[in-house]
Amino acid sequence: MNTERWRHSICGFVLCCLTACTAVDLCPETDHPHMATITAEFDWGGEEADKPARMNLFAARRPNTWRINGVADTETGEVTAIERQEDGTETTVPFRMRGGEYTLFSINDYDGVTIDNLETFLTDPRASADTLFLRLMETPREELPELRGVNLPDFNPGYRYVPNIGRVFYSLDRGIQITTGQEEVLHIAPIPISQSITIRFNIRTIGDVVVDSLIAEMSGICGRMNIADAYLDTTELYRIIFRPTIEQTEPDLLTCTANFHALGIIPSPVDSYLNGSGILQVAIYAGSGNKKKIFHAGNNPRQDLLDADLTEKREDGRTYMKQTDPVEITLSGELVIDATHIVDQDDDNFDTWFDNDTNIDVDV
């Protein structure tokens, strides 16, 4: 799905925030309500299985710059907001909107996701929507559940980790009319804007080899996206860690499959690099008889990522997601594990996972 519709429609939201006037309530709220209590109904358009638990709602009233932010429960439709008290404490209250015409956009509220510059946007009339960035929060390596109790070497130390957040959804609606003194229902139809990426690769076993489990990571993950213009901040890239599933497809062949969601992956600049951006690193826990060993493998799927057409750089110098349809990448070549390497416990446990005629440039 092309993101062009999203980028064009958000322009209306930005424009509606450029004019300002003062809103004055002329009579007490108890005598003549100036607010409407809000609930939400969601239409996921066939994406129900991937829907998030919560959605952030942002509303801007026209023609002035009164703005409000709330969080909607996607199951119950309840919408709440955070209200700051006079003593400086915060409390959760029902989401209420003043009467008038609004532009509304929504985006996921996930653990591990934050929105940069949100407070400024909500409180400063001069701040426009193009200052808002969706950002994946960094996770220290020692806090990753996949690595808890595991001592693995880090072959790509220049990239910090971000969570696999699942699908990111977005919606924009203009011309929403709110009438005060009653409950209003917002009808919201979010669309997915993140990329669902499935990676498959094969492990060929020689001799009596049992593969117990895998840990894999992909680098070159974009961790920050501009909400208004849909461009990716590529000044700093990250990596995602995950555990692929293992299926015995032939007596001596295992097919490994992993799925994760990303805001874009930037491929390696050179086919021969084995660390840096766009590199898949895998740790394989294997055994033969009563011997155990961890194998480390690296793959540079540069051409596969380019063929997947995930991102594009445009004339303005920015990088954009080119499409958000699910992508499947099957890596060429096989990772080979020989039982004799486990039994003999030799030191050669890093596999370059390339064809024999490929020059490898490893800098660990």
Per-residue pLDDT tens digits for 334-361: 888 989 888 887 655 444 443 333 333 3
Residue 12 CA to residue 336 CA, distance in Å, equals: 54
Going from N- to C-terminal start, the domains of the chain cover 4-110+166-192, 195-351
Evaluate if residue 270 carries a pLDDT over 90. Answer: yes
Place of tokens 């099957």: 330
- In the predicted structure, residue 218 carries a pLDDT above the cut 90: yes
Rounded Cα distance, 323 and 38, in Å: 33
Is the pLDDT at 211 greater than 90, yes or no?
yes
Choose between 325 and 231: higher pLDDT: 231
> What is the reported pLDDT for 15?
41
pLDDT, residue 345, reads: 73
* The dihedral formed by the CA atoms of 256, 262, 266 and 272, expressed in degrees to the nearest 10: -10
Q: What is the pLDDT of residues 236-248, one digit of tens each?
A: 999 999 999 999 9
- CA quadruple 26, 27, 33, 36: dihedral sign: positive
Closest to 56 (Cα-Cα) out of 168, 139, 144: 168
- When mean pLDDT is compared across 99-103, 109-113, 207-211, 222-226, the lowest value belongs to 109-113
User: Model-level pTM?
Assistant: 0.77
pLDDT attached to residue 232: 93
- Answer yes or no: is pLDDT of 18 > 80: no
Residue 62 has pLDDT above 60, yes or no: yes
Higher pLDDT, 63 or 69: 69
pLDDT tens sequence across 134-167: 899 999 988 888 888 777 788 888 899 998 877 8
Q: Which of 36-40, 125-129, 349-353 has the lowest mean pLDDT?
A: 349-353
- For residue 63, name the pLDDT band (cuts at 50, 70, 90): low
**141-146 contacts at long range (C-beta below 8 A, 24 or more positions apart):** 144/241, 146/215, 146/241, 146/242, 146/243
Q: What is the percent of the chain where pLDDT is above 90?
A: 35
Residue 159's pLDDT is 93
4-110+166-192 classified as CATH 2.60.40: yes
The pLDDT score that the predictor gives to residue 359 is 35
Residue corresponding to tokens 């790509």:
156
Q: Is pLDDT above 80 for 197? A: yes
pLDDT given at position 346: 63
Its sign, for the CA torsion 77, 121, 104, 191, is: negative
pLDDT at residue 64, as a whole number:
62
- Report, as an integer, the average pLDDT of 75-101: 90
Q: Residue 45 pLDDT more than 70?
A: yes
Contact 113, 106 (CB under 8 A): no
Q: Tell me which residue of 51, 7, 2, 60 sits closest to 227, measured CA to CA.
A: 7
